[in-house]
Amino acid sequence: MMQIYADNAATTKMSKAAIDAMLPYLDTIYGNPSSLHSIGQEANEALSKARERIAKLLGCEAGEITFTSGGSEADNQAIVSAARIGEKRGRKHIISTAFEHHAVLHTLNKLEKEGFTVTLLDVHSNGMVTAEQVEKAIRQDTCLVTIMYANNEIGSVQPIKEIGEICKQHGIIFHTDAVQAAGHLHINVNEQNIAMLSLSAHKFHGPKGVGVLYARKGIALTNLIEGGAQEHGKRSGTENIPAIMGMAAAFEEACANIDSNSEKLIRMRDRLIEGLSEIPHSVLNGDRYSRLPSNVHFCFEGIEGESLLLLLNDKGICASSGSACTSGSLDPSHVLLAIGRPHEIAHGSLRLTLSEENTDEEVAYIIESVKGVVEYLRSISPIWNDMCSGRKSFV
């Protein structure tokens, strides 16, 4: 049976370049970069080079890069650090949005319990927030604005540069969770007025368990992990050299191919959107144009997302109902609720996230399969039956 992977927002397959870049550091150059002997020093040199290579791709300096265990840790450390800086100056107000990743939202919840005030901006029904909304929410005591670059569920891409500009004018730290954007959209932290940024290797064909926190020079980081003072003393623990090497290689490859990959992805994405829009009582989530080239996200009335996923899996299609982190819970996605989708329709969600390895043939098969499965599920759905007979109204 055909096996189609369309869940690249959850994680990606490692690229050959990334695997090849890791192997020597598992096998021969396995030293601890803090050791003074040659095997250690060789690893240390590779670490410095990797830091420079990644800095170059973000448009920053090597000293502004801290390696972390992934996007979640980078988000946590960015937000806690900015909060501690604000606190020292008597500023304990933070601006964010209702549709951030839980790594951001749960860190903000923790700070609220400590006495910080958090304003979560309303997200428009197209999955966007505006720089004007950010400006209106700014107070005398605002210390941090944290807004994601691209949403991991519905794929909407935010006006990061404009938001950064507002923050710069007001002297407020701007952090962006760029985990879905890195390697897929162009990033330049200076041009885009970004003071802090998180990324994660496994979302761009690198290994899992490694990421980056960029923090502009002068922003003091707060340690989340104490120990041997690695990473300029800001993130202890022996560096995960193989993973860092894999991340550097994957990031270079992804950034070099952004334009050609995007072109291919947008063509496949738009075909999928067109095809699935033909399903009656379906709605596309996220902005039609300001969206990740890889992301397709629909809600279908009258069905359960879980059943849809299981039946698609039987047809060899790996998809998601939204965030990998909330699957298994019966609550509808906080992202869909944030954009104003009612509970009834938020349950029937489907996220298809492509990679450049997908093909037109697979796209055609996905469209045909989703159409068939939605039709079947509706044929056995009491709610759908009630809607069709007028006992219950369509959303």
Ligand X SMILES: *Cc1c(COP(=O)(O)O)cnc(C)c1O
240 binds ligand X (CB under 6 A): no
CB of 236 to ligand X, least distance (A): 18
7 binds ligand X (CB under 6 A): no
Give the β-pairing of 173-177 and 196-200: parallel
CB of 243 to ligand X, least distance (A): 11
Beta strands in the chain (DSSP E): 4-5, 65-68, 93-97, 117-121, 142-146, 173-177, 196-200, 211-215, 282-284, 295-300, 317-318, 349-353
Quick one: 9 or 377, whose CB is closer to ligand X? 9
Contact 374, 303 (CB under 8 A): yes
Quick one: 251 or 384, whose CB is closer to ligand X? 251
Return the SS3 of 359. Answer: coil
Whole-angstrom CA distances from 132 to 170, 185, 237, 264 are 13, 23, 41, 33
Residue 388 falls in the annotated catalytic set: no
Contact 308, 318 (CB under 8 A): no
281 binds ligand X (CB under 6 A): no
Among 15, 200, 230, 355, binds ligand X (CB under 6 A): 200
Contact 178, 192 (CB under 8 A): no
Neighbour tally for 393: CB within 10 Å: 7
Q: Given 167, 299, 318, 325, which residue is catalytic?
A: 325
Read off the tokens for 140.
């005398």
Read off the tokens for 18.
């990334």
CB of 312 to ligand X, least distance (A): 21
Q: What is d(CA 215, CA 65) in angstroms, rounded to the nearest whole number?
A: 7
286 binds ligand X (CB under 6 A): no
Among 51, 92, 93, 101, binds ligand X (CB under 6 A): 101
Compute CA 75 distance to the chain's CA centroid, rounded to the nearest angstrom: 11
CB of 302 to ligand X, least distance (A): 29
Window of 91-99, 198-206, 217-225, 345-353 that interacts with ligand X by CB under 6 A = 198-206
Quick one: 103 or 311, whose CB is closer to ligand X? 103
Quick one: 147 or 172, whose CB is closer to ligand X? 147
255 binds ligand X (CB under 6 A): no
Window of 105-113, 175-183, 187-195, 266-274 that interacts with ligand X by CB under 6 A = 175-183
Which residue is nearest to ligand X, using beta carbons? 71
Quick one: 10 or 94, whose CB is closer to ligand X? 10
Quick one: 133 or 295, whose CB is closer to ligand X? 295
Return the SS3 of 156. Answer: strand
Q: What is d(CA 260, CA 263) in angstroms, rounded to the nearest whole number?
A: 5
Residue window 301-320: x/- pattern of binding to ligand X, with contact defined by CB under 6 A: --------------------
Quick one: 152 or 193, whose CB is closer to ligand X? 152
Contact 68, 211 (CB under 8 A): yes
- Residue 148 φ/ψ, nearest 5 degrees: -70, 150
179 binds ligand X (CB under 6 A): yes
Site for ligand X in 32-71 (CB under 6 A): 70-71
Residue window 129-168: x/- pattern of binding to ligand X, with contact defined by CB under 6 A: -------------------x---x----------------
Among 12, 15, 44, 72, binds ligand X (CB under 6 A): 72
Q: What is d(CA 312, CA 167) in angstroms, rounded to the nearest whole number?
A: 44
Return the SS3 of 108. Answer: helix
Give the β-pairing of 142-146 and 295-300: unpaired
Q: Which residues bind ligand X (CB under 6 A)?
A: 70-72, 75, 101, 103, 148, 152, 177, 179-180, 200, 202-203, 211
Just list the catalytic residues.
Answer: 325
